[in-house]
């Protein structure tokens, strides 16, 4: 039996298989049966290492189902393995890292207790929405970036005087790092979001982007509101093509179609969430964080 096993949940099966090959680990797959009432029954198929195991499972929609499956697999693996590393390529609930309005539950604090209780000794996340969320964990945590992997993809494209754009000031550092990887410039737009309604408004008045191909960079895209507003604004400023680069493409409620309709040429995301746009593989980056 190998010293390392990779257990992949149904939500991250392809990524888990790629990761197992990268780290030369024994692959353990999960057979999941979902009952009519929504309960999940999981059976792990393969040999689990007694020394060290890695459980790979994103929790994108259905978020709670994929989360419970992740915790269940960690608990089962811990019965055999001395060390269990939980790789959460997409960490759901990461936006609930603090109490924004009175009475709100800080769900990341709850997750921290759940993962420790299930038996995880370390958490590895990819481009978590907020690093504050990881501060709630009492076990080891590590956040890794998919920006280098995304930058490699865009370096291969024939772009006209490209510019990196963050749709808001919150993503300024992300845009800066992306621009550094590609050795080009970046800008960050000003936006305002209503905490109660979720409505987004661009506050920036003018930018010099005439004729330039732009890469709109974000960590995640859910409904696409920020990206759509930014694209419409940039198109009015007479930019060239607009590409979207993100780590996690949730693309809820036909967001992909709406984003394309706003003027975006292509959406490029990673395989932290499987889908039509997830063409950039992050298994090698995760592998480096494990070994």
Extract the tokens encoding 121: 């000794």
CB atoms under 10 Å from CB of 221, counted, come to 28
CA distance 154 to 150: 7
116 a catalytic residue: no
What gap in Å lies between CA 118 and CA 62, rounded to an integer? 20
Query: Kind of pairing, strands 83-88 and 163-166?
Result: unpaired
For 199-208, letters b (16+ CB in 10 Å) and e give ebebebeebe
Quick one: which H or E segment has residue 86?
strand 83-88
State the Cα–Cα distance between residues 237 and 256, nearest whole angstrom. 23
Exactly one of 135, 191, 236, 288 is catalytic; name it: 191
Cα torsion angle, 113, 118, 122, 125, sign = negative
**Which residues are marked as active site?**
191
């Amino acid at each position: 039996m190998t010293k390392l096993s990779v257990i992949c949940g149904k939500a991250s099966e392809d990524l888990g298989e790629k990761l197992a090959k990268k780290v030369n680990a024994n692959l353990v797959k999960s057979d999941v049966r979902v009952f009519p009432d929504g309960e999940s029954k999981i059976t792990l198929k393969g040999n689990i290492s007694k020394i060290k195991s890695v459980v790979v499972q994103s929790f994108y929609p259905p978020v709670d189902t994929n989360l419970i499956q992740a915790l269940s697999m960690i608990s089962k693996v811990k019965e055999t393995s001395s060390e269990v590393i939980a790789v959460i390529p997409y960490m759901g609930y990461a936006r609930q890292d603090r109490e924004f309005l009175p009475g709100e539950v800080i769900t990341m604090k709850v997750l921290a207790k759940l993962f420790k209780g299930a038996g995880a000794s370390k958490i590895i996340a990819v481009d978590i929405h907020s690093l504050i969320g990881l501060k709630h964990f009492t076990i080891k945590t590590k956040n890794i970036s998919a920006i280098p992997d995304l930058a490699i993809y865009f370096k291969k494209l024939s772009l006209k005087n490209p510019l990196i754009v963050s749709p808001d000031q919150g993503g300024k550092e992300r845009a800066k790092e992306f621009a550094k990887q590609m050795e080009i410039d970046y800008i960050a737009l000003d936006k305002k979001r209503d905490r109660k309604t979720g409505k987004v408004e661009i506050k920036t008045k003018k930018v010099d982007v005439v004729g330039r191909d732009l890469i709109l960079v974000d960590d995640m895209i859910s409904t696409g509101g920020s990206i759509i507003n930014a694209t419409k604004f940039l198109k009015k400023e007479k930019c060239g093509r607009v590409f979207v680069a993100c780590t996690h493409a949730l693309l809820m409620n036909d967001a992909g179609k709406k984003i394309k309709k706003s003027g975006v040429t292509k959406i490029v995301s990673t395989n932290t969430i499987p889908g039509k746009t997830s063409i950039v593989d992050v298994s090698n980056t995760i592998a480096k964080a494990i070994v």
